Chains A and B, each alone.
Chain A
């Protein structure tokens, strides 16, 4: 199977920071806005190089969304950054009216998503944001898997004309996709070819799925791994081509069941290609305090659980 090398742990939010800086150098219309989380969102380098294009909004997320909409109407490309919960659930109506319905070219940079935010606990760990953002008509939803891909996704978001939700995380995680691989919005990536089961994953769980595929290979099970870089629009073609071959699916995401990738894939397969599916997600729960790795394990989101789910779905073929 394809071997992916962890070139060293890096946080995906730093990938965003690097992408933002590069996007800012390429296009003078790119702006960065934050609600008192410049450092957490890794906007420091952008703010240092482009002080006039860095806009501090204070702890007032609702106003940040509205101001970004105004800036976008006037031709700017504003990236608004905060923790995933505070830039989705807290400002849902603002994103709905001022950004999605208002058709403004605002980019939502959503850091610290999922339980891997860690010790801060459930108030800061959203497992519902993908559902909220998928529900908005016209919203593009991206969830890259590592540092390199997050940097590339940020550049792609800056070039795309329309609202984009860009989800990434806090902890250092393996960086394993090629540097400078272009990011195509709406295109899923087949990370490993297989024939027995398809592991469909997004964000941090792509690496876990690749680890699971290696473990399954040792048991003689050949798993195909798909990296869902874009949750909306979903790359139905790539998913169906794989499932037609394997006839068994595991969907893995650092998000709850309701409205997540699992339901999106189940909806697609129910309509186009009925197939047994097992789900790796948070279920219907809030997060809690803990280390990222302990939480991944406790919420059943790590490679070991993906292996179990693959074994189970194979019995249902």
Chain B
């Protein structure tokens, strides 16, 4: 059953608590982009995707599939997978530990349920998702493929190769999302490489482009509804979610400083205070 906006807010708050606690426990990891994408990915996993964690198989037949192209935001990814039932929530405590299925970047080597493909070297996931979408077309499978890229990641040329491929092969069952938080490791995307107008660029690539506030659950739902309605158009969809890096904790928000840095115990406690507890409970 679809979650209400209030339930989604609560869920994503718990996901943010998980993100900060996982990264603090590990002493490393990527909280910034995890927190910017937490809201729209929560809405995706809870309300939009047709998926059955209990019967998960890597070939994804008969299911909607999700590929994380910006592989470094494993904290948000693993939290969502665990909280949707792909593996026990307690396993989040093993993030980045030796021998863990929860590798620093997504891996299929140890068969972590919910993870379709390895990622981390940027720019590759959109191609993989396009291949999955093409396979669904070839097999007459009506379900869809979702993928999340970063705006910094979109400096990779392969993203734009995949952009051409998806249009050429009319992959209207492909929904890409860009976490448009404007930050990357060395500074703002504008200062590092000049992100330019992503909306105009994807329109020029002839995609169905939707721009939405990635922290407003009503706007996110509208964006997903528009993407759903696009099926049959022959065009792939790109949703550009405008977000803030580190959203939800004031000292982590709006800066690249928390792209790949762990809070200390004191900062973690302050973040927990700001986020507030939820009935879902910590891992």
Contacts and interface: CB of A to CB of B under 8 A. Distances in A.
B158 A74 contact: no
B128 A66 contact: yes
Interface in A38-79: 52-53, 55-58, 60, 62-76, 78
A97 B132 contact: no
Chain B contact residues: helix, strand, loop or mixed: helix
Contact of B58 (A55, A68, A73): A73
A70 B108 contact: no
Contacts of B158: 60, 62-63, 66, 94
Contacts of B165: 57-58, 60, 63, 67
Contact of A101 (B118, B127, B135): B118
Contacts of B168: 56, 58
B162 A63 contact: yes
Interface residues of A, number: 32
Nearest to A28: B138
A110 to B, nearest CB: 19
Contact of B107 (A52, A73, A96, A101): A101
A6 interface: no
B177 interface: no
Interface residues of B, number: 38
Interface in B112-165: 116-121, 123-136, 138-139, 157-158, 161-162, 164-165
Contacts of A70: 67, 117, 127-135
Nearest to A75: B59
A64 B128 CA distance: 9
Contacts of A76: 135, 138
A182 interface: no
Contacts, number: 113
B55 interface: no
Nearest to A100: B118
A137 to B, nearest CB: 10
A64 B121 CA distance: 16
Interface of A: 52-53, 55-58, 60, 62-76, 78, 93-94, 96-98, 101-104
23 contacts: A58-B161, A60-B158, A60-B161, A60-B164, A62-B157, A63-B130, A63-B164, A64-B127, A65-B127, A67-B127, A67-B131, A69-B131, A70-B127, A70-B133, A73-B59, A73-B60, A73-B135, A74-B60, A96-B121, A98-B117, A101-B107, A102-B117, A104-B117
Given A63-B158, A69-B117, A93-B121, 20 more contacts: A53-B138, A58-B161, A58-B164, A62-B124, A63-B127, A67-B130, A67-B131, A69-B128, A70-B67, A70-B135, A71-B132, A73-B60, A73-B135, A74-B135, A78-B131, A94-B158, A98-B128, A102-B108, A103-B108, A104-B117
Interface of B: 58-61, 67, 107-109, 116-121, 123-136, 138-139, 157-158, 161-162, 164-165, 168-169
